[in-house]
């Protein structure tokens, strides 16, 4: 999942959402990929509540339509488009697929969006990596390595993009209760075992991650550049 907020020079709108949420992204456009479920959907909603106009996407039109409808029903200004961030025709092996989707696609999306942000006076990009990028998950080697690569990608891109008025950062979620991680938390015994090995007392929620993404996109984070913020309830997270 990948998100970006750019200055848009578009009209302000009166979105819905929680009255407690500051409208720090008024007049901005937020582009959020993989955003019809889980963390991406929560991020799209949170950025919309902060005043951004949101363009969300995922692989399937019905999922896109349902997510757009759900957020519009909350008074948010949202549109959607189908976008598979990988290249399925090239996929021969699982590892290739993981790197294509998790690393190459993120780099390509940044490359595509930055010129538009630059033209409009700047913006913010937030990549979604994983705590597995710091502490590899057992049996998820290629996934973990792909997420470690994103930590490097953020560091490599930060100075280049800063010179163009764009801040790039990342979030590294821990165990978040979504469809993606269902295999890890649906079985009570596995869940307990995993939580104790991670040193956490609860599963994370998509909105735990969305709050941090909204912060990183906001002016309050204007001096945060090239960082990866871990949102993992205390899971150890040092390389």
Positions marked active-site: 143
- Residue 144 engages ligand NAP in binding (rule: CB under 6 A): no
Judged by CB under 6 A, the chain residues 70 through 89 that form the site for ligand NAP are: 83-86
- Residue 175 engages ligand NAP in binding (rule: CB under 6 A): yes
Residue nearest to ligand NAP (CB): 38
Rounded (5°) CA angle 30-33-35: 90
CB of 95 to ligand NAP, least distance (A): 15
Site size with ligand NAP, rule: CB under 6 A: 27
Sheet holding 123-128, edge to edge: 78-82, 53-58, 28-32, 2-7, 123-128, 166-173, 228-231
CB 72 within 8 A of CB 48: no
* Residue in 25, 35, 50, 210 binding ligand NAP, rule: CB under 6 A: 35
Stretch of residues binding ligand NAP (CB under 6 A), selected from 21-29, 58-66, 159-167, 188-196? 58-66
- Residue 47 engages ligand NAP in binding (rule: CB under 6 A): no
Query: 24 or 178: whose CB is closer to ligand NAP?
Result: 178
- Residue 179 engages ligand NAP in binding (rule: CB under 6 A): yes
Rounded (5°) CA angle 149-151-153: 70
- Residue 228 has, within 13 A of its CA and on its CB side, a CA count of 27
- Residue 40 engages ligand NAP in binding (rule: CB under 6 A): yes
Rounded (5°) CA angle 239-174-190: 110
* Residue in 24, 130, 148, 235 binding ligand NAP, rule: CB under 6 A: 130
d(CA 108, CA 11): 29
Helical spans, DSSP H, in the chain: 38-49, 61-72, 94-99, 105-119, 141-162, 182-185, 188-198, 206-217
* Residue in 96, 180, 205, 226 binding ligand NAP, rule: CB under 6 A: 180
d(CA 196, CA 188): 12
Site residues, ligand NAP (CB under 6 A): 1, 33-40, 58-60, 63, 83-86, 101, 128, 130, 173, 175-176, 178-181
């Amino acid at each position: 999942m990948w998100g970006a907020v750019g200055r848009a020079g578009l009209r302000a709108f009166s979105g819905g959402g929680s009255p407690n949420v500051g409208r720090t992204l008024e007049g901005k456009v937020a582009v959020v990929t993989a955003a019809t479920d889980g963390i991406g959907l929560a991020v799209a909603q949170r950025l919309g509540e902060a005043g951004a106009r949101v363009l969300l996407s995922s692989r399937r039109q019905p999922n896109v339509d349902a997510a757009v409808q759900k957020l519009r029903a909350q008074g948010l200004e949202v549109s959607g488009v189908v976008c598979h961030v990988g290249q399925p025709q090239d996929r021969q092996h699982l590892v290739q697929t993981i790197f294509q989707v998790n690393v190459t696609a993120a780099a390509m999306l940044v490359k595509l969006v930055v010129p538009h942000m630059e033209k409009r006076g700047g913006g913010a990009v937030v990549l979604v990596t994983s705590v597995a990028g710091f502490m590899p998950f057992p049996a998820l080697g290629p996934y973990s390595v792909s997420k470690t690569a994103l930590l490097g990608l953020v560091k490599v891109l930060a100075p280049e993009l800063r010179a163009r008025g764009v801040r790039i950062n990342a979030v590294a979620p821990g165990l978040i209760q979504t469809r993606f991680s269902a295999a890890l938390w649906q079985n009570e015994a596995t869940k307990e075992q995993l939580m104790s090995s991670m040193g956490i007392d609860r599963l994370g929620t998509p909105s735990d991650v969305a709050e941090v993404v909204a912060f990183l996109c906001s002016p309050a984070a204007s001096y945060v550049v090239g960082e990866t913020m871990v949102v993992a309830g205390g899971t150890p997270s040092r390389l």
